[in-house]
Structure 1
């Protein structure tokens, strides 16, 4: 009788061990199934090009011209390492070039140029544009406001800049688009940014998103928000 009891106990232990192994195997298989796959493909040439660049965030207009949207842009890391004033100047020049992503519109009037490097003093950046900035602007209070804050919000992405002053041909301009005075410096304004839209990434970067990826943030570039390219 005792032998039968022992045999029965051993069988039960063996059955429990087999069930436990099967359960662990199932968990392992589930974990393998949950392993995330890459959301983008990138060739070696594109990877090498990106390794020599640093991402910055620029602000342009949405299609309706009612809000600002963000666009990621890559600039040479060598330029970024030259200091905040050089990088700020590069960022303004990229704004002047206009957006490269779809469904995003430029705000700085065509023909506008930067007269000299952006100057930073006491965390205030001074941007000196040519007269086309004022003379060729289409006008309208909303559009004028978006134009100003596309520059301000772009530059205040840098930790060295808290406010931005815009001058024309080296002088203060009191009247811009009939509504806004440029005789003061402007702080950042996130109220005019469309928070429902992520970072619009131009295809020229060389990153190819795959199915199921957010069209506005295919490579998770929102992680760069709040980071300073100079760091």
Structure 2
């Protein structure tokens, strides 16, 4: 009888140990099932592109050229880190290149170039274009205003800039097109912005460094040239 009791105790202990082992295994499986997994994957090449560029907001015309539309574009982070004036110059040069997203139209006239880097003084940015900005513009009050505010709104995306002054050949110009004057400093205008957004992927974005501005453009313009009226 005593021997039978010992055997019974051994069998009970064996069952308890098996149950504990099974519970631990099930617990491990449950723990593995609860481990979160990420659905977002990015390869090394894509990560490198994002690390080298920074997003900026530019404004171009819509297809009807009645409103401005934002385009989010990526530019070289090395240029952006050189300072506010360098970044502002980059933005204007990107505007001159024209839009890359579908459904947007360029507004700065073909042949226009930036005569020198954009300057910022007391949160007022001065952008100096060559005379093609006026000579090659097709005219029309709405289109003229869109052209001006594509520059103004793009630059005032920067916290360092509140207003923008546009000069031609280094001088203030009274008349632009259809009674639109360039003699004042322009504040931001969100009333003419469409809510749509154009997005350009990082790998589709190029950048012309500010240092590549052709100095001959500046040197070829006579100092005594009269401002355009």
TM-score normalised by L of structure 2:
0.70
Aligned to 1:166: 166
**Counterpart among 199, 202, 220 of residue 201 in structure 1:** 199
**8 Å contact from structure 1 (residues 60, 99) kept in 2:** yes
Aligned to 2:134: 134
- 1:126 positional shift: 0.2
> Closer, same or farther in 2 for the Cα pair 1:100/1:189, shift >3 Å?
same
The two structures, once aligned, show a CA RMSD in angstroms of 2.1
Aligned to 1:215: none
73-82 or 103-112: which moved more? 73-82
Aligned to 2:96: 96
- 1:165 positional shift: 0.1
- Give the 5 Å matches for 1:1-231: 38=40, 42-195=42-195, 197=196, 199-203=197-201, 205=203
Gaps of 5+ in 1: 1-24, 207-231
- 1:37 positional shift: 5.4
- 1:203 positional shift: 4.4
- 1:52 positional shift: 1.0
TM-score normalised by L of structure 1:
0.70
> Closer, same or farther in 2 for the Cα pair 1:51/1:204, shift >3 Å?
closer
> Closer, same or farther in 2 for the Cα pair 1:54/1:135, shift >3 Å?
same
| Residue-by-residue CA offset, 1:147-169 (whole Å, 9 max, x unaligned) | 00000000000000000000000
Task: Write the distance in 2 (CA, Å) between the matches of 1:187 and 1:111.
Answer: 26
Task: Write the distance in 2 (CA, Å) between the matches of 1:74 and 1:172.
Answer: 32
Task: Write the distance in 1 (CA, Å) between the matches of 2:38 and 2:99.
Answer: 32
| Residue-by-residue CA offset, 1:62-88 (whole Å, 9 max, x unaligned) | 111110000011111111111100000
What SS does structure 2 have at the residue aligned with 1:139?
coil
**Greater Rg, structure 1 or structure 2?**
2
What SS does structure 2 have at the residue aligned with 1:108?
coil
